[in-house]
Structure 1
Amino acid sequence: MIIAVSGTPGVGKTTVSKILSERLGYEYVSIKDFALAKGIGEKVGDEIEIDVDELSRAVGEEFSGRDVVIDGHLSHLVPADVVVVLRLHPKMVAERLESRGYPRKKLAENVEAELVDVILVEAIEENENVIEVDTTGKTPDEVVDEILSLLNSGVKRRVGIVDWSWAYDDVVQYLMLGGD
């Protein structure tokens, strides 16, 4: 089974993916490392630009029929049996990205993306089986417990459980309203 773990930067994808793969006995795959190893991605400044169509093709070829957890904020765009979209209160996303030294513009883009469900919407458009999980106030082990509980009970689709519209006032200072 291919499980893709996606979400806005800062929501806990890597930590959760590593624990999940360990608990399931699945191979862990970083989408970023895979793309670079296959020559699908290239470093441009501090970022990696990835050809998503080529990434999707390569993931399908490489991991079809294998048990893997694929970690990365583009993983919802590759072939997977189930996509887990991790969500986190946008203010916590801002604080985590700020502590990682993200430039103001990139921080604002990611806070806005979490606020308005960008990754979730893309995941739903690309995949039949999407499970949304709110990580706010939970330890990584609690998040993995929730994911495993949902998977073991046969849940294939659970979306619409998170609504950050009420949190706008909490994050307005992180947004870049009116442009640069």
Structure 2
Amino acid sequence: MKIITGSPGTGKHTISKLISEKLNLEMVDINRIAIEQGLARKNNGTLDVDVNKLKKIIDKKISKNSILVGHLAPYVISSRNVEVSIVLRKSPYKLQRIYKRRRYSGKKSLENLGSEILGITYYDTVHEFGKKKTFQIDTSDRTISDTAKKVESIFKRARTRDDKVDWLQMILKKGDMQKFFPY
């Protein structure tokens, strides 16, 4: 199984849809399964998911010929089933605009931005699936087409390098720590 994960707004669903069609893979949406199974509930504008129950269900919903998509991937999939995992990343400045368009609450925006800046999803994905199976792609200045090509090359096991992503150094250089971590 192949995984595409990352913070909200990085392009997970758009890229997964393109790749699943091109490579004839089934796209499995973690959030959709959680909702369909009654394991998700709205709480102050966010979707709370019972990941322990979801973990028991999700393995039955996937096959070797699947792309699993969602930010919860490293928390609901056992590493033995994973061939490759890709973490999509995006500049917090660009994500901030996306979250504003999506009308995320200030709290939800800051939580997601902080997670992206600190690389939480990437760290958790590497920790769960291993460094050799995990790649990160910076989607900040890439077109959808270019991102899809990079994902496809990783899925086809072409030699490729991880994108270097260090949002923390970027916001420190710009003096914007307080903007993203106001508390």
Question: What is the TM-score when the length of structure 2 is the normalising length?
Answer: 0.85
Percent identity for Structure 1 against Structure 2: 26
1:17 aligns with 2:27: no
What is the aligned partner in structure 2 of residue 29 from structure 1?
28
The SS at the match of 1:29 is: strand
Structure 1 vs Structure 2 CA RMSD? 2.1
Segments of 5+ residues of structure 1 without an aligned counterpart are: none
Deviations 1:43-75 (A, max 9, x none): 334322112122222111221x34111221112
Shift of residue 132, structure 1, vs aligned partner: 0.9
The SS at the match of 2:107 is: helix
Deviations 1:126-161 (A, max 9, x none): 112111111121111211100111222355x96572
Shift of residue 8, structure 1, vs aligned partner: 0.9
Structure 1 CA distance, aligned partners of 2:181 and 2:153? 38
Structure 1 CA distance, aligned partners of 2:170 and 2:70? 25
- Taking the TM superposition and a 5 Å limit, the aligned residue runs for 1:65-76 are 65-76=63-74
Structure 1 CA distance, aligned partners of 2:156 and 2:177? 39
Segments of 5+ residues of structure 2 without an aligned counterpart are: none
The one-letter amino acid paired with 1:175 is F
Find the partner of 2:164 among 154, 161, 165.
Answer: 161
Structure 1 CA distance, aligned partners of 2:59 and 2:109? 31
Structure number having the greater helix percentage:
2
The SS at the match of 1:131 is: strand
Structure 1 CA distance, aligned partners of 2:176 and 2:112? 11
1:132 aligns with 2:131: no
What is the aligned partner in structure 2 of residue 106 from structure 1?
108
Structure 2 CA distance, aligned partners of 1:173 and 1:107? 14
Question: What is the TM-score when the length of structure 1 is the normalising length?
Answer: 0.86
Structure 2 CA distance, aligned partners of 1:151 and 1:95? 30
Structure 2 CA distance, aligned partners of 1:171 and 1:55? 37
1:175 aligns with 2:174: no
The one-letter amino acid paired with 1:161 is K
- Alpha-carbon contact 1:91-1:171 (below 8 Å) kept: no
What is the aligned partner in structure 1 of residue 47 from structure 2?
48
The one-letter amino acid paired with 2:72 is L
What is the aligned partner in structure 1 of residue 155 from structure 2?
151
The SS at the match of 1:132 is: strand
Structure 2 CA distance, aligned partners of 1:166 and 1:8? 18
What is the aligned partner in structure 1 of residue 125 from structure 2?
123
